[in-house]
Structure 1
Amino acid sequence: MNIVYIANEKFAVHLGVSLYSLYERNRNEKDIRVFIISTGIGGDSLGKLKSIAKKFGRTVEIIELKDTSKYFDTGLQDTSFDISKMGRLLVGELLPEDVERVLYLDCDMVILHSIRELYDTKLGKNVVAAVEEPTVLERVRYEIGLDYEASYVNAGLLLIDLKKWREENLGEKIISYSKSIWDKSLFGEQDAINGVLRWRIKKLPPKFNFFSNYKYFSYRALTKVYGATLSYTREDLKEAKKRPVVLHFAGDERPWCIGSHNPYKRAYFYFKEKTPFREVPLEGGKKLYMLIYHMMDLVTVVCPRVRKLISEYYINKAYKRLSERK
């Protein structure tokens, strides 16, 4: 299996947690080839990441990404530009030529079970496989020119046919699309991936990229309130809540923030305690915000329409800021 992460120093600790969980829960895999694209990970942190791999009799391959000028022009690199996110578009150029299939994972993910079934997913004519993000609002889809019938997926986990990706020069095409929607895109490269690959994405069950705050959403809320057309069933969502394979700590309720009420935070700390990053302190200054966020989660269970109204309010504010920067 070929796995790739991209991280900077800020996310090195979370990468360490994810990496440990990957190795521990996939001990029986003969070959796990992990690539870490570093966008500024310090030497001490790199040493700790290598020690995690060594503990399991594995090695990691570090790829330094420093000069981005030949990939991204200055017109795209404004204050919202984050190479640790955009870097996933460069996997075709940065990974060795013999890598023809790769699983990209965000650093804020914890692997709880074997990912063999995920990795062996047949893509057919598709280029990538990913999990839908049904709470993305219609305005987001409209602004980036996404067809009504096309599903919007989360790009935090991407199973990529790297052979097709290279042959069709998709990295460059997605970067180009990012430029074309620069002034109306809230989610950068994720928006562009959806825009370019809209009809060539294999949909995965939610257990393979389960947002921890989706615990509070019912299937009915996703389909009726948010109007999502899902490729998976009510039972698939129930399974994901009870037995997620890959947990994704996306959103604001991060387990490493003091005061977080994340329902799956025990999984994060279980693995963190086993890593050389165990002494890294939690992030402070957000206890009140964490409480308010958790209250919003609880409201979601009772009245998901309120949650959607809150999301719409902040999304509209974000678009207003975008219009002001033109």
Structure 2
Amino acid sequence: MNKQTVQLVFCVDDRFCLPLGVLLRSILATTERTLSVHILTQGVSEQHRQRIEAELCSPHEVRWYQVDSAGLENLSLSAAFSQRLSLATYYRFLLGNLLSPDIDKVLYLDADMLVNEDIGHLYDSNLGNAIVGAVSDSKLSDEQRWQHLELSQPYYFNAGMLLVNMTAWRSMDVAEQCWQWVERGIDFAYNDQDILNLVLNGHVALLDTRWNQQSHGLRLQQGGIVHFTGAEKPWHASCVHPLLERYRALWHDSAYKDVAAEHALDAFDKRSLQRLSQQTNNQGAIWIYGAGQRGRRLAAFLQENLPQLNIKGFVDRAQTGQFQGVPIVSALPHGANEPVLIASEPHYEAIRQTLLAETTDQHRIITL
């Protein structure tokens, strides 16, 4: 039997080219089919193009599509995602407009994914009369987001993996319906994903969750496709995901092997580091209050850029163990007199008040 070429679609800018390169490496390592890769972008540097194309030698092919900026002026990202995503996430609306009309099926994937099984099996899924095949969003389904959007069907899918019947997509003019929602100017918390759920409600075949294993409630660490849906990504220096070792191994075998992990610092992190520098002159030793994502990324940045500053430990009542050699303890040790950096934005003031009650030396607290 002649196996059908897998038509893959990605929407990226320069920020997401490295994870796309690693994702392609994972697909090539697990998938037997020939790949035809379609990349929608408003601008990718020539260096990134060369790296991506280096991953896809014959018989595979890659095609680049330039997204016209006209008509995209109304696009925006909600506050929760403005530092994590780019407007490229909306480009998938344009599948029917940009791809050749003779392509009748595509598999769209977000770049922040890792493939562990042959996606040819996913590509062959029977969609019946549905326009797309997708997987339920684990976190937002738990929160029953379909009720908030007043959807007629009791489900809410994650749009990071979409198996698309292109004939039906074009026939329903999904792109036009999506742009109509954009023009209404509604501030959707989940951006284009909310819009796709609204437009495609009742036209979705829910597929096995193994084809989009999201970080929330991750159950199958070797699922067909693992989706790094949290703010912490495996190309960040502070990531502790269960599949980090496999991801990094593929990364170091890819065209991006010479690129170092990045420090994804937000505005709060940068203010914290500025105040830390002012109060300690980046010398001596400190404690970090909080061993979650923020605490880890601050620690990873300090270890790489200010090794002369000794991190004695994390304070965190909910976690144990260590991170990159730094121990995690449930409370500041008795008699500890080093400065404390609070690694929590929503609970900053509550933690500060707790520390003030526990110490007579208020100058030990790195205040914002």
- Conserved in 1, the CA contact under 8 Å of 2:117 and 2:224? yes
Residue 62 to residue 253, structure 1, CA distance change in 2 (3 Å): same
Judged with a 3 Å threshold, the aligned counterparts in structure 2 of structure 1 residues 42 and 199 are, in CA distance, closer, same or farther, namely same
Deviation for aligned residue 1:242: 4.4
Q: Which residue of 1 aligns with 2:52?
A: 49
2:118 is aligned with 1:114: yes
Say if 1:285 and 1:156 are closer, same or farther in 2 by CA, change over 3 A: closer
Residue aligning to 2:198: 195
SS of alignment partner, residue 214 of structure 1: coil
Q: Secondary structure at the match of 2:292?
A: helix
Structure 1 or 2: more strand by fraction: 2
Deviations for 1:44-72, whole angstroms, at most 9, x for unmatched residues?
01011111102x6422111122x2224x3
Q: Which 4+ runs in 1 deviate beyond 6 A?
A: 287-290, 294-299
Task: Give 2:304's aligned residue.
Answer: none
Structure 2 match to 1:273:
252
Bigger radius of gyration: 2
Question: 2:48 and 2:95 mapped to 1: Cα distance?
Answer: 22
TM-score by length of 2: 0.67
Residue aligning to 1:90: 94
Alpha-carbon shift at residue 6 of structure 1 (Å): 0.9
Give the alignment of 1:120-159 within 5 angstroms.
Answer: 120-136=124-140, 138=143, 140-147=145-152, 149-159=153-163
Q: Tell whether 2:214 aligns with 1:211.
A: yes
Q: Which residue of 2 aligns with 1:68?
A: 69
State the aligned residue count. 268
CA distance in 2, matches of 1:272, 1:124: 37
Counterpart residue identity of residue 174, structure 1: C
Q: Is the 8 A contact 2:237 2:261 kept in 1?
A: yes
Structure 2 gaps of 5+ residues are 1-5, 270-287, 297-315, 321-345, 348-368
RMSD, aligned CA: 2.7
2:75 is aligned to 77
Matched, 1:38 2:49: no
* Aligned residue identity for 2:119: I
Q: 1:275 to 1:33 in 2, by over 3 A?
A: same
Give the AA of the match of 2:258.
Answer: E
Q: For 1:238-272, what per-residue CA distance to the aligned partner results, in whole angstroms no more than 9, with x for missing partners?
A: 5xx14311111111221122222111112211211
Q: For residues 157-180 of structure 1, give each alpha carbon's deviation from its aligned partner in whole angstroms, at most 9, with x where no partner exists.
A: 000000011111111112212333
Number of the residue aligned with 1:223: none
- CA deviation string 1:181-234 (max 9, x = no partner): x4341111100111111111100111101113422xxxxxxxxxxxxxxxxxxx
Q: Percent identity?
A: 24
Bigger relative contact order (CA 8 A; separation at least 6) = 1
Q: Distance in 1 between matches of 2:199 and 2:22?
A: 32
- CA separation in 1, counterparts of 2:193 and 2:143? 15
TM-score (norm: length of structure 1) = 0.75
